[in-house]
Amino acid sequence: MTMLKKAFDFYINSSIHVSLAVVALALVTGFSLSIKLDVYFLIFLFCSSVSGYNFVKYASVAGLHHRSLARSLRSIQVFSVMCGLGMIFTGLVLRWETLLTCAILALFTLFYAVPLFLLKRNLRSIAGIKVFVIALVWAGTTVVLPVVENGLELYWDVYIIALQRFLIVLTLMIPFEIRDLAYDTMALHTLPQVMGIKKVKLLGVSLLVIGFLLEYTIDDFKIQQIVILCIVLLILGFLITLSRKRQPKYYASFIVEAVPIFWVILLSIAEDLIA
């Protein structure tokens, strides 16, 4: 049991779970726009997500305490380096437009953790914008990147899906924001700090309703995808309403972040049944 717990903790703490959620949302975009995503692109997406997330979470710790790193953190470091190499190798076969777009998104990730030159503060510490930066990067990564890699132009459906994804990811962050109320300084002005827990939950549900209605503005919408989207958003809304400051350890980091994975599984099953 101890080994299983250690393996599960590594799965969560090394950002494997959240990176699979990123890949899942990219696959959701593929289903929505009827585009096929190359396996090298998906591996690139996974590896870059692991590297990016672990850089944000552990770079400062590794820099200050390199010699006294815990064994688990050393393992995460090694895994991150391996994913960084995987990102480089798979990136060699991607379109240059994809790499350019990825570089722009990577700058947001970099300055999320590293202070901006003029402001001398990172994006994470600027009051009120943390979740919006994360939602923007996720929308760009899981919607714009797959479109660019497939050599498509940005058109109406892409913009709508990107906006929808932005709203859904923003809502996905609410359980994390509520969980972190005990740790975030008031200077951050997070949504729960500004609005309170009840109002931020209401905001989250409202954003999910808007995200669902946006599906009907897509030119090439499919009934089965609308039904599945409804199921997924109902589950996410339910998880938001259950969010508390004191929540189970893996509630946000595993259960909530599993929603995108569940979403793409449902779409895959529906696709197989129709085929």
Averaged pLDDT for residues 111-139: 69
Confidence category of residue 65, pLDDT binned at 50, 70, 90: very low
Signed CA dihedral, 28, 58, 83, 8: sign only: negative
The string over 169-192, giving b where at least 16 C-beta atoms fall within 10 Å of a residue's C-beta and e elsewhere, is: bbbbbbbbbbbbeeeeeeebebbb
Confidence category of residue 63, pLDDT binned at 50, 70, 90: very low
CA angle 32, 38, 43 (to 5 degrees): 105
Averaged pLDDT for residues 44-58: 90
Least confident range of 71-75, 110-114, 140-144, 265-269:
110-114
Confidence category of residue 117, pLDDT binned at 50, 70, 90: low
Tell which phi-psi region holds residue 126, choosing left (phi > 0), alpha (psi between -120 and 50) or beta: beta
Averaged pLDDT for residues 170-195: 84
Asked if 12 contacts 57 with a C-beta cutoff of 8 angstroms, the reply is no
Least confident range of 24-28, 56-60, 141-145:
56-60
Q: Which residue has the higher pLDDT, 41 or 192?
A: 41
* Residues written for the chain: 275
pLDDT value at residue 193? 86
pLDDT value at residue 93? 95
Pick from 24, 26, 29, 27: which is nearest to 161 by CA?
29
Averaged pLDDT for residues 186-192: 77
Nearest 10 degrees: Cα torsion 6, 9, 15, 16: 60
The token pair at 188 is 């951050």
pLDDT value at residue 5? 87
% of the chain exceeding 70 in pLDDT: 87
For the cut 50, the answer to whether the pLDDT of residue 199 exceeds it is yes
For the cut 70, the answer to whether the pLDDT of residue 186 exceeds it is yes
For the cut 80, the answer to whether the pLDDT of residue 187 exceeds it is no
pLDDT value at residue 183? 76
Confidence category of residue 67, pLDDT binned at 50, 70, 90: very low
Least confident range of 101-110, 118-127, 143-152, 230-239:
118-127
Confidence category of residue 64, pLDDT binned at 50, 70, 90: very low
The letter for the amino acid at 7 is A
Averaged pLDDT for residues 137-165: 95
Signed CA dihedral, 67, 122, 127, 143: sign only: negative
Tell which phi-psi region holds residue 166, choosing left (phi > 0), alpha (psi between -120 and 50) or beta: alpha
Largest CA distance in the chain: 56
Give the pLDDT confidence of 4-29 residue by residue, as tens digits. 888 999 999 999 999 999 999 999 99
Asked if 45 contacts 51 with a C-beta cutoff of 8 angstroms, the reply is no
Burial (CB < 10 A; 0-12, 13-18, 19+), residue 137, is buried
Q: Which long-range contacts (CB under 8 A, 24 or more apart) does 204-210 make?
A: 204/171, 204/174, 204/237, 204/240, 205/237, 205/240, 205/241, 207/167, 207/168, 207/170, 207/171, 208/167, 208/168, 208/171, 208/233, 208/236, 208/237, 210/167
Average pLDDT of every residue of the chain = 87
